[in-house]
A and B are shown apart, each in its own frame.
Chain A
């Protein structure tokens, strides 16, 4: 594989592993739409940063982290707020595209997927944030599950719950920002949303949901990368296509099992 494509492939691989794991927790918290909002803000901040000469992976976290802090401090967990984040990010992206030399092409690349622009810098950064997430998730996960299913526990015992709630929001913002700047907005959201959807339907336990989500994310990513390269297609839509195929296969499998059980 050419070195350009090798970097691009390696940059996306750790993100394809870790985004579905975050997706499982976001689905538990019914916050998966927030990811789309954060991804839009990250894309807008990446473009704004590029206008100032910053690489996308350094500009993107600014917007996403601001969005995460705003979400946490406003204590709003409604679809209306997430929709507002999406609209704000979308509007800023289009305004930057229309009013700077970056133009439409770059904005389009952020949305469709700009994986092939990944360099050694994106590869290391993606690996570092994925490793950071993998180290934090075993600490965060039981606390977030307990907070979702037994919310009175942390309030009644005056636990420092802000540590894991804000910590998770910031972790998601960071990973989503790096992923948006590396894989593009569409691919990032697809990797958060679809593998977790499949895992929630099919996994027999939380542990298996981790493995299933990660496996779907990784397999979908590898398949999409190969298809996009071989057929000269944009990466984002190709990944969505690969993940939707996996989703349809999973639903068909479930239907067949249910029919066998009857």
Chain B
């Protein structure tokens, strides 16, 4: 099966190159973990795939029709916004059923009144259950306690077959748990 994402010797950065050259392929059913210490360029590589960072060399290919969903490292959370979790999922075109029980209890609360962990889990669920087939997750365990990390891992596993997922995390144990393969950027290139 053709990959939904192909990076061919990509060198990416902003004013100057930060990461690369990196080559990888990602297809449906796969969860690829990008590991490496802080500053190695994991988030920059995601930004390059999103079109927000400069590609100095190499190619990024994504077949037409494959939609992309992205969980940023710090999901935007306005200080004051009368929008419930359920309404946010509706905006994303996601049905409110099948939610983890932890999330189901707070789904009708305003998003600005959720705890940091609840908000992160809601953002993750919205990305995973949304329309995007190619999913980029940047530090999905931010703000999550061990119980929420467990729920996050379950959510990624539950959607794995219909998605091609790229996960960036400094949490090596989490990557080991959810990924079908790992790429350590510190030893790559």
Q: A78 an interface residue at 8 Å Cβ cutoff? A: no
Q: Once bound together, how far apart are the Cα atoms of A203 and B108, in whole Å? A: 12
For the complex, what is the distance from the CA of A156 to the CA of B51, rounded to whole Å? 6
| Residues from chain B with Cβ under 8 Å of A203 in the complex | 82
20 additional contacts, CB 8 Å, given A28-B81, A152-B52, A152-B70? A142-B91, A145-B91, A146-B91, A148-B76, A148-B78, A149-B75, A149-B76, A149-B78, A152-B72, A153-B69, A156-B68, A157-B67, A157-B68, A157-B132, A199-B82, A201-B80, A205-B84, A205-B87, A205-B108, A207-B87
Over the window 57-100 of chain B, the binary record of Cβ atoms lying under 8 Å from chain A Cβ atoms (1 yes, 0 no) is: 00000000001111010011010111110011011100000000
Q: How large is the interface on B (under 10, 10 to 19, 20 to 34, 35 or more residues)?
A: 20 to 34
**Interchain nearest-CB distance for A156 vs B (Å):** 4
Residue of chain B at shortest CB distance from A142: B91
A201 to B72, CA, bound (A): 27
Interface: A193 (CB within 8 A): no
The 9 closest A-B pairs by CB, nearest first: A203-B82, A209-B82, A156-B68, A142-B91, A156-B50, A205-B84, A152-B70, A206-B83, A149-B76
Q: How many A-B residue pairs have CB under 8 A?
A: 62
| Min distance, Cβ A151 to any Cβ of chain B, angstroms | 8
Specify the main secondary structure of chain B where it touches its partner. Answer: loop
Q: Can you give 16 contacting A-B residue pairs, CB < 8 Å? A: A145-B83, A148-B78, A149-B78, A149-B88, A150-B92, A153-B132, A155-B50, A155-B52, A156-B49, A156-B68, A157-B68, A199-B82, A200-B81, A200-B82, A205-B82, A207-B87
The answer to whether the Cβ of B110 comes within 8 Å of any Cβ in the partner chain is: yes
